[in-house]
Amino acid sequence: MSKNISVSHLKSFKKEFDSSKHSKKSMNTLTRSKLEDVTMDWETYKELDHNYSNIVNNEMSKVTNQKASGRCWGFAALNLMRIDFAKKYNLSNFEFSQSYFMFFDKLEKSNYFLENILSTLGEKFDSRIVMWLLESPIQDGGQWDMFVNLMEKYGIVPQSAMPESLHSSSSRSMNVLITRTLRKYASILRHNHSKGTDLKDLRKLKVQMMSSVYKLLCTFIGKPPENFDWQVRDKKKKFISHKNITPIDFYNKMIPFKLKDKVCLIHCPMSNKKFNELYTVRFLGNVVEGQVIKYLNVSINDMKKAAVKSIKNNEAVWFGCDVGKMFHRDLGVMHNKLYDYELFFGVDSNMSKATRLEYGDSQMTHAMLFTGVDLKDNKPLKWRVENSWGNKSGDKGYFLMSDDWFDEYNYEVVVDKKYLTKDILKLFNKKPVNLNPWDPMGALAK
């Protein structure tokens, strides 16, 4: 059998295609129409319903918009915080400053990157790990524990105290320039090491480099406030005023719950992972010596049970998923039966969840917030999702996720420890197993 595609192969392929009236009809349709329009299953579409048995109280009247940036993880976490904050102060709507958290995330990621360069000085420049570190040193993405690190170290401010800038909302140019600068700094540190400079002096040089990164961030995003005033009128027109607050005091004294009380559960059925095992990802983080990223790999049912308990107790749930699969952006729908590709093409491209992860077809790509669930006999049918893409899609920015989509493409939830069984909770005391930096469970931070 020939290794290449022969002329006879092509003739055979064409004959098979031409013999199928269905294939010709599909070709004529798809060459002039969008794939999502012509493959949508009508029976599934007509059953879509944005009503839920359980919705978190004080759901915000207006969704947020991350615009042309990859800050979904931070937006979702700040959206989680603002629900309880707005409830505490009786506000119909509120936003924390997304540019403030972004500023310090970029600053800390830059330092984290340079420290990783220093820890891999013994590696060749073209080793897989060094090339991985150089690929995206200050990417917009992140993980829950990285967000907690930022809040615990720097606090947070209202959006009025540090509004969005052009480059916080459209981050590509900023990321390109700072990435180029950091790669240059990496080459300088490695070159100086090769000439005999010791680690102590390399770190002194690193501090000078970080001063330049700080300057770049201030220029792109604006200078973060050291203190600020916050005043607002609540739903009953009562005037609320706080003067000369620091960001860390705003976080510690005014946020009505503790982020450190929440933990990450993942569902990852890959053959190289065990259930009820604690994992971390090498070289994934932002704050050096901060809280380590930890995931507990659990069954899909354990993940759902914890999420349902949280929502029923009026607590939203941060989660990470592969948003682009079986998804209609305008409708704001994630549903496993939304498209019938096999019927349209006559080709079966379905894979198991484990196979998709192991062969590069799926990974965590987006973080959002569960604010509701529709239960029947205490089992979820669908989930209400608060996204951060503005209010023009879905139900004014709120999306619908079917429960079978949750099974296949949802990978992570963050819940309070009180919603976990004692047996699951004690597993967080184990030493986490290290995953490779390129593992799909680390993809959300890219």
Task: Band the pLDDT of 2: cuts 50, 70, 90.
Answer: confident
Q: What are phi and psi of 181, to 5 degrees?
A: -65, -45
395-424 burial code (b ≥16 CB/10 A, e <16): bebbbbbbbebbebbbbbbbbbeebbeeeb
- 338: nearest Cα among 358, 351, 324: 324
The answer to whether residue 321 is catalytic is no
pLDDT score of 104: 98
pLDDT of 22 > 90? The answer is no
Whether the predicted pLDDT of 285 surpasses 90: yes
pLDDT digits (tens, 9 = 90+) for 38-55: 999 999 999 999 999 999
Say how far apart CA 408 and CA 412 lie, in whole Å: 12
* pLDDT (tens digit per residue) in 397-423: 999 999 999 999 999 999 999 999 999
Would 4 be classed as within a structural domain?
no
pLDDT at position 431 over 90: yes
User: Per residue in 229-239, pLDDT tens?
Assistant: 999 999 999 99
Sign of CA dihedral 426, 430, 436, 442: positive
Say yes or no to pLDDT of 1 above 80. Answer: no
32 in any annotated domain: no
Tens digit of pLDDT for each residue in 89-126?
Answer: 999 999 999 999 999 999 999 999 999 999 999 999 99
CATH code for position 166: 3.90.70.10
344-394 pLDDT per residue, tens: 999 999 999 999 999 999 999 999 999 999 999 999 999 999 999 999 999
CA distances from 445 to 14, 42, 50 (A): 44, 36, 30
CB-count exposure of residue 14 (10 Å: 0-12, 13-18, 19+): exposed
Exposure string (b/e) for 354-386, b if CB count within 10 Å is 16 or more?
eebbbeeebbbbbbbbbbbbbbeeeebebbbbb
Q: Which domain holds residue 297?
A: 54-445
Looking at residue 437, what is its pLDDT?
97
pLDDT at 245: 97
**Does the residue 173 lie in any domain?**
yes
Predicted local confidence at residue 446, as pLDDT: 83
Residue 381 within a domain: yes
Q: Of 58, 65, 72, 335, which is the active-site residue?
A: 72
Does 24 reside within a domain?
Answer: no
pLDDT digit string (tens) for 56-71? Answer: 998 888 999 999 999 9
- Asked about 387 being catalytic, the answer comes back as yes
- The pLDDT of residue 368: 98
**Residues 200-229 pLDDT 10s:** 999 999 999 999 999 999 999 999 999 999
* Residue 11 pLDDT: 96
Residue 116 tokens read as 């990783």
Active-site entry in 116, 267, 366, 410 = 366
Written in H, E and C, the secondary structure of the chain is CCCCCCHHHHHHHHHHHHCCHHHHHHHHHHCCCCHHHHCECHHHHCCCCCCCCEECCCCCCCCCECCECCCHHHHHHHHHHHHHHHHHCCCCCCCECHHHHHHHHHHHHHHHHHHHHHHCCCCCCCCHHHHHHHHCCCCCCCCHHHHHHHHHHHCCCEHHHCCCCHHHHECHHHHHHHHHHHHHHHHHHHHHHHCCCCHHHHHHHHHHHHHHHHHHHHHHHCCCCCCEEEEEECCCCCEEEEEEECHHHHHHHHCCCCHHHEEEEECCCCCCCCCCEEEEECCCCCCCCCCCCCEEECCHHHHHHHHHHHHHCCCCEEEEECCCCCEECCCCEECCCCECHHHHHCCCCCCCHHHHHHCCCCCCCEEEEEEEEEEECCEEEEEEEECCECCCCCECCEEEEEHHHHHHHEEEEEEEHHHCCHHHHHHHHCCCEEECCCCHHHHHHC
* Angstrom distances, CA of residue 289 to CA of 108, 150, 424: 11, 12, 26
Active-site residue identified among 58, 79, 297, 387: 387
pLDDT for 226 equals 98
In a domain, 13, yes or no: no
Per-residue confidence (pLDDT) for residue 284, from 0 to 100: 97
Q: Using one digit for the tens of pLDDT, what is the confidence trace for 129-187?
A: 999 999 999 999 999 999 999 999 999 999 999 999 999 999 999 999 999 999 999 99
| Confidence grade of residue 21 (pLDDT, cut at 50, 70, 90) | confident
The residue with greater pLDDT, 63 or 257, is 63
Averaged confidence pLDDT in the chain: 96
For residue 270, being part of any structural domain is answered with: yes
What percent of the chain has pLDDT above 90?
Answer: 97
Asked if residue 335 has pLDDT above 80, the reply is yes
**Number of compact structural domains in the chain:** 1
Residue 281 has pLDDT above 80, yes or no: yes
Q: Is residue 23 part of a domain?
A: no
